[in-house]
Structure 1
Amino acid sequence: MKGTTSNYFLTAHKFWKTVVNKETAADPVKLQQQIEMHQRLLNVFQAGAYYYLIFNMYTGNADFISSGVKQVLGYEPEEMSVEFMMDKIHPDDKSFFLNFEYKVVEFFKSLPFEKIPFYKVQYDLRMKASCGTYRRMLHQAVQIDYDEHNYYRTLCFETDISHIKLEGEPCFSIIGLDGEPSYYNIQNTPSFTKSYDIFTKRERDILKGIIEGKSSKILAEELFISLHTVNAHRKNILSKANVKTPLDLVRKAIKEGWI
């Protein structure tokens, strides 16, 4: 790791080092398979321009950053590091970041090994782009390289949601997949409280598609259901969310950490 002087970074690195005690070489083929799988699956969505990176828990740095970061934030991948990115977090959001990362580490330290593939972490923060303006970024992370004792690497998707969430405090959620419980909009509490899921699995599939801007016709084709069924689900989703328009639904879903 390059010379590190930031106490802010060192604090976060101490959290990360509590879940890994050695460094390992990555298997490029397996990591690429993981990236492609998570890009296809329903547990990661893109509601705007995004880039992704592979985060090395032991070094506290990125093993890889995709070229999309240039489009999203204006930086070249070669100039980016995790410490560089942390330095670009809005001053008012920096304490949120440390709190979120501490809670993520504590959650996964207590999670049974067989449950690891069924959880996604997400939170939003404001990041300064190369032009000097701040973009609200949605961070989504899944574990892709781990064993019974260590978490080695995390796949992170960073999506620009500035057009969806214009203001408000950062929101942090841990999303359970395939029937596992979720923890939405986690506050500064010492323990995790399971959240009641107001949507069915199929409604969640359609909610994700709405957020990504897909039409009912496309959703019907992708989910192998009728257009009438998709529209019925859309109506139920709006009713359950207590909103009137798809845009209001997207904004509330981001704010409440539903997705």
Structure 2
Amino acid sequence: MEKPRENYYLEARKIWSTVVDQDSTDFNDLRVQVAFHKQLLNIFQPGNYHYFVFNIFKVEVELWSEGIIDVLGYTPDEMSLEFYMSIIHPDDMPYFLKFEKRITEFFLTLPYDKIKNYKVQYDIRLRAKDNRYVRVLHQAIQIDYDTSNFYRTLDVQSDITHIKNEGVPCFSLIGMDGEPSYYNIQSDALIPGCNNPFSEREQEILKMIVEGKSSKEIARVLFLSLHTVNTHRKNILNKARVKTPVELVTKVINQGWI
């Protein structure tokens, strides 16, 4: 028998309470901070997206972006955290709770200076205003924290329904600035991303391919020759065991490689 929705909400609150025991007192001008962190974070956006700021201590969302209209059809004024949890697909709710628990456990183990180098990523289905389910790629970073508490996260959700329309949710912890990543985590242990076959440079190019950038654009951004980029693209297709960019994008999302 499925648990009552309020039980899921209470379970989530219990998970989040493990990382904070007081509210932040020095996080001013929320929109300026969001703009700053959006520039710092190289967020993967394969489709329409929206973002929100989650206050962990208050267990509430302090800011919903207007982009939620394009993704789910709701206006920011219609949204609340409880309502958000009520539109999670029933089959995905256990994954959501498990992922959030793993996230809190992981960040509690990180040294303070490493926290800024990790983002969270998983996919989940949400019920849109027109009652269809939209699969979103959820990405989050910590934007307000100290040595004892995690106060706020910046969360970005991109519509990937056109890329992944079936399958179970996938969870990854992405390391930045040279930190290791953990892809498509399925077990209770954190296992380094050995199932990701790409080098660091290939990972950069792969991300741009999925974003729809041409070889010429990639070459310009990474200061590489067109020949070098095309060689990397060929190697990426071979490593992914696919033949076309469309097949590559689909597999990348399903495997949690980005």
| TM superposition score category, shorter chain reference | over 0.9
Task: Quote the residue 2:109 is aligned against.
Answer: 110
**For 1:36 and 1:81, how far apart are their aligned partners in 2?**
26
Task: Quote the residue 1:73 is aligned against.
Answer: 72
Task: Quote the residue 2:19 is aligned against.
Answer: 19
The RMSD of aligned alpha carbons is: 1.3
Q: 1:24-173 counterparts in 2 under 5 A?
A: 24-25=24-25, 26-28=27-29, 29-38=32-41, 41=42, 44-173=43-172
Identity between Structure 1 and Structure 2 (%): 54
Task: Quote the residue 2:235 is aligned against.
Answer: 236
- How far 1:48 sits from its partner (Å)? 0.5
- How far 1:133 sits from its partner (Å)? 0.3
SS in 1 for 2:93: helix
- How far 1:117 sits from its partner (Å)? 1.1
- Provide Cα deviations, 1:159-217, integer angstroms capped at 9, x if missing partner: 0000000210001111111221111111142x211122421222111111111111111
**For 1:233 and 1:27, how far apart are their aligned partners in 2?**
44
User: More deviation in 23-32 or 177-186?
Assistant: 23-32
Q: TM-score, normalised by structure 2?
A: 0.93
Task: Quote the residue 1:182 is aligned against.
Answer: 181
Q: How many residues align?
A: 250
SS in 1 for 2:51: strand
- How far 1:251 sits from its partner (Å)? 1.1
**For 2:134 and 2:34, how far apart are their aligned partners in 1?**
28
**For 2:192 and 2:199, how far apart are their aligned partners in 1?**
16
**For 1:127 and 1:106, how far apart are their aligned partners in 2?**
25
Q: Does 1:247 align with 2:246?
A: yes
Task: Quote the residue 1:214 is aligned against.
Answer: 213
User: More deviation in 57-66 or 197-206?
Assistant: 197-206
- How far 1:67 sits from its partner (Å)? 0.2
SS in 1 for 2:113: helix
**For 2:56 and 2:8, how far apart are their aligned partners in 1?**
16
- How far 1:255 sits from its partner (Å)? 1.0
| CA 68–31 in structure 1, closer or farther in 2 if over 3 Å, else same | closer
Task: Quote the residue 1:195 is aligned against.
Answer: 193
Amino acid at match of 1:33: F
**For 1:74 and 1:19, how far apart are their aligned partners in 2?**
32
- How far 1:230 sits from its partner (Å)? 1.1
- How far 1:54 sits from its partner (Å)? 0.8
Q: TM-score, normalised by structure 1?
A: 0.93
SS in 2 for 1:13: helix
**For 2:38 and 2:234, how far apart are their aligned partners in 1?**
33
Amino acid at match of 2:247: D
- In the alignment, structure 1 segments of 5+ residues that lack a partner are none
- In the alignment, structure 2 segments of 5+ residues that lack a partner are none
